[in-house]
Amino acid sequence: NGNKKINIEMQNTYQEDWTERSLFYNCRMFTEGFKKGEPYWKLSPCIHVGILNFNMMKSPGYYHKVTLRDEKTNELYSRKFQFHMIELKKTKTAKGKARKHPLYRWARLIAATTWEEVAQESAGNRYMERIQEEMVKMSQDERDRYLYLREEMAASDRVSQLQSAENRGVRAGKLLNQISMIQKKVKKNKNLEQIADELEESATKIRPIYDQVKQHPDKTAEEIYNLINNE
């Protein structure tokens, strides 16, 4: 594989600090085995592959390749640090060329939730059919599945997930409060710039809330919150 180091991570539940986690493992893998006195060019390329059952990136595509590049010119800085992310939930909305890419079929196989879907996605592809056989074997014996768990990460994962849930709750509370305040100011016929100034926020940041409040004057703060999150 061209002397590359590849770390494949699969995550089923939302983890807010996924970015930091992937950086941590790629950094650790990058320096692992590097001996004193060796030239730096001997450091092997490190590729992190994250297969996620939740949405992490804002862009709609289900596959993302992240590399080190110059922000202004887009010039590649190094190929030795790469992150590949597959967001399984976004495969449902993939269109056109994205659906024709071989990776799409693999992503749909991994995302399958029934044996019928597994059989459908793997049919006609000998590699996928072998995967299907392994999946069946794993499901037949509960103990076999435990062999695939990484207990050394379990404790950290639990803490991260709890922290993620707590942080999302705090953010939701702040947003609901902000929506409520904007609703009150809109009822007083204040415009976007006035509201932004009074809340000490940028007009760009609160515009999505302001627009929804203007369009739906009779909706509650909770209903406006759901509209914003579903966009």
Which pLDDT score is estimated for 209?
86
Buried-exposed string 81-96: b where 16+ CB fall within 10 A, e elsewhere: bbbbbbbbebbeebee
Closest CA to 158 of 17, 1, 4: 17
What CA–CA distance (Å, rounded) separates 180 from 26? 43
Rounded to the nearest 10°, the torsion over CA 24, 25, 27, 31 is 140
Which pLDDT score is estimated for 146?
63
Residue-wise pLDDT tens digits, 137-160: 777 766 655 665 555 566 677 777
Which pLDDT score is estimated for 71?
93
Buried-exposed string 66-77: b where 16+ CB fall within 10 A, e elsewhere: eeeeeeeeeeee
66 in Cβ contact with 83 (< 8 Å):
yes
75 against 184, higher pLDDT = 75
Which pLDDT score is estimated for 142?
62
85 in Cβ contact with 57 (< 8 Å):
yes
Full-prediction pTM beyond 0.85?
Answer: no
Judged by DSSP in three states, 133 sits in helix
Instruction: Give the range among 135-139, 208-212, 227-231 with minimum mean pLDDT.
Output: 227-231
What CA–CA distance (Å, rounded) separates 170 from 4? 41
